[in-house]
Structure 1
Amino acid sequence: MEATEDLTQQALDKLAIMELPARYMRGLDRLDRDLLRAQFWDDAWMDYGIYTGGADGFADFCMEALSSHVRNHHIIGQNLVEIDGDQAYGEVYFQAYHRIVGEEGEERDVVIAGRYVDRYQKRAGIWKFAYRSEVVDWARDDPAADAFLAGSGNIWGERKPDDSLYQRDAMKRPAS
């Protein structure tokens, strides 16, 4: 029975760890600083090359860097986690889309793809990032290419609190 309990706990730990990048990405895409910051321990350390430092400074850096973008969309790919007691190591593939306004006022689509190299710690039963590094594998910068959707009626992603994600009442079927 003990082996089954160990496997169950390991599966629960992996699930908790694998939700961290999803909440991290939501924090970036919705410009939700508090959500982004909550994924890191207070003494966590980040090394992105363009930013090296602690969790509070990192959350501020991200909000400032992304606030001028028209929109952002991050996708998580392979997510490998190796648990070693109350510590774990991971590699998470990502693609990060950024709609920006270029120097001459034209909208551009920037895509950066790579991997996060992470160390997680479990404290008082909770997993959070203790270390996160971003490794860039490739990037593109192209003219915006979705003008054909203008006036289409599509619902576009927004920032917190305007995004559909936060409009919980709208998700309920109206009474007939």
Structure 2
Amino acid sequence: MSNKTGAHEPGRIASAAELADRAAIAEIIALHCRGVDRADEETLKSCYWPDATTAYGSDAVPAHGFCAELVSAIRAFRQTHHMVTNSIYAFDGAQARVESYLIAYHYLAGLDGDDSEMTYLGRYLDRFEKREDIWKIKHREPVMSWSQNAATTHDAHHPALAALRQAERFPDDIVYK
């Protein structure tokens, strides 16, 4: 997303209203990561407008239907961990284009200890829409930079980690207690 796509002048001081809009959008982006990692369909759906679309493949599909499919797919992994880093915002009234950098780890516990990890690096290209002072995703399209697959291990019994609570999926994770 460049200055030519509607982004403001780099370095311009944002108004209080724009900062509030950015915070609301950042919350949705973070909640989406939680929804994926906890395999929480309702949290995922709460990030999208009912008429929203997403294009994780070549065609745009209804986002709410995709959320149900994503939860099923994500449960194939023992754990996932999605992190969004740099986000760039371009506002046009009640519309916003947001580009966010993404790092996602997918841990697959294999049979006989042949565990693997798929690391995905890319960006979310989102179109947000504000309706009655609520921002949600209107359309999301991920763009991949690269991914890597590697053998890995997970030692939950390591002395430095044994006392830590382990992450779970919805509704068993501690965040829901």
> Which band: TM-score by shorter chain?
0.7 to 0.9
Structure 1 residue runs of 4 or more that deviate by more than 6 Å after TM superposition = none
Q: Percent same amino acid among aligned pairs?
A: 32
Superposition CA RMSD, Å? 1.9
User: 1:124 matched to which residue of 2?
Assistant: 132
Contact 2:118–2:148 (CA<8 Å) still a contact in 1?
yes
Distance in 2 (alpha carbons) for counterparts of 1:20 and 1:130 = 12
More helix by share: 1
Alignment of 1:7-86 (within 5 A): 7-49=15-57, 52-86=60-94
Partner amino acid, structure 1, of 2:170? K
**Deviation string, structure 1 residues 117-176 (Cα, Å, up to 9, x no partner):** 0100001111000010000101111112333x4353332211122222223xxxxxxxxx
Gaps in structure 1 of 5+ consecutive residues: 1-5, 168-176
TM-score, normalising length: structure 1:
0.84
Gaps in structure 2 of 5+ consecutive residues: 1-13
TM-score, normalising length: structure 2:
0.84
Contact 1:31–1:67 (CA<8 Å) still a contact in 2?
yes
User: 2:157 matched to which residue of 1?
Assistant: 150
**Deviation string, structure 1 residues 27-52 (Cα, Å, up to 9, x no partner):** 00111100001110111111112773
User: 2:8 matched to which residue of 1?
Assistant: none
**Deviation string, structure 1 residues 10-31 (Cα, Å, up to 9, x no partner):** 1111111111110000000111
Partner amino acid, structure 1, of 2:66? F
- Aligned residue pairs, count: 161
